[in-house]
Amino acid sequence: MKLVLFDCDGTLVDSQHVIVAAMGRAFARAELPLPPREAVLGIVGLSLVEAMQKLGEDDPRFPAARLADLYREAFRELRTEPDFSEPMFPGMRGLIDTLSARDDLLLGIATGKSQRGVAAVLGHHGLEGRFVTIQTADDAPSKPHPAMVHQAMAATGVAALDTVLIGDTSFDMVMARAAGARAIGVSWGYHAPELLRQSGAQGLVGDADELLRAIDTLWETVA
């Protein structure tokens, strides 16, 4: 049995507009200037407090915990607005349908989102029950710490060499490799392909069809 873990934001769903909007509200309410868009998207994948600390350049005076609370509040507000959208990237719904129908694979999620946030995404897209393990910022240290992957493997009984993480950031790649798992990077997310390669990606794909082939090719190579 193989375990395929997916990051959420930037890998399964395109949430960049709502992330930037929520950050804008949070920083405005804290009366702080919003960092550039590229800086905001560059920390996607980290747990919230760690993300805010990075945006504050690790200055101990920076109100990272308060900004994290303000961001959560803003995101909840945005989720209730009529134009709220976290669409899946092209082909990813079909990919999940295909993989979840196979009897040689288990699917999981490892994300900096909260359990509540993941549940909202899965419910919106009708994906409840597809993922046998869901590891979030509520359950483990922030990426790139390997705890999420370790916990997913422990929950499913799948060994590290039979586990792959699919993600769009260097944090995902480093986390997977630190846990002894395989790592495949997707080019449609928030970190540049070259950074993914430098961070340990063993494959880099440009669309969902290529990802499906890469998953099987990865284990053919390992075998």
Positions annotated as catalytic residues are 7, 9
Element (H, E) at 185: strand 182-186
Q: From 192, 147, 152, 137, select the one nearest 169 (Cα to Cα).
A: 192
At residue 49, φ and ψ (nearest 5 deg) are: -65, -45
Angle, vertex CA 103, rays to CA 173 and CA 93, nearest 5: 55
Q: Closest Cα partner for 17 from 116, 83, 97?
A: 83
Q: Which residues pair with 205 in a beta bridge?
A: 186
- Classify each residue of 186-209 as buried b or exposed e, where b means 16 or more C-beta atoms within 10 Å of its C-beta: bebbbbebeebeebbbbbbbeebe
Contacts of 184 (CB under 8 A, 6+ apart): 164, 165, 166, 167, 201, 202, 203, 204, 205, 211, 214, 215, 218
Q: Are 206 and 188 in contact (CB under 8 A)?
A: yes
